[in-house]
Each structure stands twice: as C-alpha cells, then as structure tokens.
Amino acid sequence: MTEKAKSLFQIFKNGLWKENPVMVLVIGMCPTLAVTNTGANGFAMGIATAFVLISSEIVISIIKNLIPSNVRIPSFILIIATFVTFTDYFVRAFFPTIAESLSIFIPLIVVNCLILGRQEAFASKNPTHKAIADAVGMSVGFTWVLTLLGIIREFFGMGSIFGLQLLGEWYRPMVIMLLPGGAFLTLGLMVGIYKHLSREG
C-alpha cells in the first residue's frame, strides 16, 4: 500500500469508530432516534444521508475556493438543500413505502448537523479525494449505528429482524422498544457500551 492510499484509508477509518458521528460527535441525533424503529428503516435513512453527504462534500471540495468565506454557511446549506430535494423526489418515486415511513425526516437531512458539520470541518479545507474518503467513512459510520439500533429495537419490539419473524407466538413483544422512550434508552445503552469498549482498547 502506498503512502497516499494509506492516509486516505486512515481518514475513512476515522468515521467508522474513533470519530463516529453518533457515538462520539453526538450529531445527527434526530433521525438516529426517530426512524430506527426497524432495521430496514434505519438502513434506508443511513443510505439517504450518505448520498447527500458524499455528493455535497464532493461539490463543496471542488468549488471551495470560489465561495467567499463570509457567505460560506448559506452557500453550503443551499448546495445541501439541492441534493436533499433530489433525494426526496427519488425516494418518493422509486420507494414509496420507505418514503412513507421516513416521512419528514428525509427533507430534514437539510438541517442534519452531521452534513453541515463535515462541510465546515473537512470538505472546505481539503482536496476532493480526501473529502470523498471522509464522506464515505462518516456515512458508513452513521449507517451502521442506525442499522444496529434499528435491528435491536425491531428484535425486541416485534421479534423480527428486517421483517423476518424470528421469535414465535410465545414471545410477548416489548412495545416500549418501538416507542420514543425505547429509542432513547437503547441508544443510551449503546453509547455506554461503546464508551466502555473504546476505553478498554
């Protein structure tokens, strides 16, 4: 592996664990908690966010020298809003059931602090290839947390994983896991376990 590829891989890996957007940076919490009542929903939200994050980091890292620094935040938001509109129309046209269950949380990607935060902290200061590595790493980091949270809540709340019924009639579903309270409690436990693991390692 060459030196350059190694540094790109390092940037990519950062988002997965060490600087995970949900676990460590604690940003993008609204979709994390709101749409993860099933594994599939969490995964879909992760992919939608990933698309917006990667495309806007590419565009912003290309045109960063053309944006005057005192209007950079509004410019970033406009670029993000354009990609979000695109994503929203795409999901509604091709995956209407997913669009229904994610409801207003797809348009709310516009104000997801994760997206704007990465533009400000990374894309506006680094060349395009590094920005892509950062965006992909952050996206995978965000998606795995959402999917795992969704799987846990779906398993205890409905006894199924990705819609596949695993537990039989004897299992009395814990409805609380599907409700707002369950989302907070599960994520709280997950972050606690994460902190414990990363301290040991």
- Of 163 and 192, CB closest to another protein: 192
- In the chain, what's the furthest Cα-to-Cα distance? 63
The region of 29-37, 62-70, 92-100, 162-170 touching another protein under the rule CB under 8 A is 29-37
Q: Does 82 sit near another protein (CB under 8 A)?
A: yes
Q: Does 110 sit near another protein (CB under 8 A)?
A: yes
Helix locations, 3-119, DSSP H: 3-16, 29-34, 39-63, 72-94, 96-102, 113-118
Count of residues near another protein by CB under 8 A: 40
Q: Does 184 sit near another protein (CB under 8 A)?
A: yes
Task: Quote the least distance from Cβ 165 to another protein, whole Å.
Answer: 26
d(CA 17, CA 24): 8
The residue within the footprint of another protein, chosen from 16, 47, 58, 77 (CB under 8 A), is 77
Collapse the DSSP code of 165 into the 3-class scheme (helix H, G, I; strand E, B; otherwise coil) and give the result: strand
CA of 18: how far to CAs of 10, 22, 42, 114, 150, in Å? 11, 11, 21, 15, 21
User: CB under 8 Å to 134, separation ≥6 — which residues?
Assistant: 11, 12, 14, 15, 57, 118, 122, 123, 126
Task: Quote the least distance from Cβ 14 to another protein, whole Å.
Answer: 19
Return the closest-CA partner of residue 44 out of 54, 56, 30, 31: 31
Provide the β-strand partners of residue 160: 165
Q: Does 93 sit near another protein (CB under 8 A)?
A: no
Q: Does 85 sit near another protein (CB under 8 A)?
A: yes
- Of 20 and 61, CB closest to another protein: 20
- List contacts with another protein (CB under 8 A): 26-27, 29-30, 33-34, 74, 77-78, 81-82, 84-85, 88-89, 104, 107-108, 110-113, 116, 176, 179-185, 187-189, 191-193, 195-196, 199
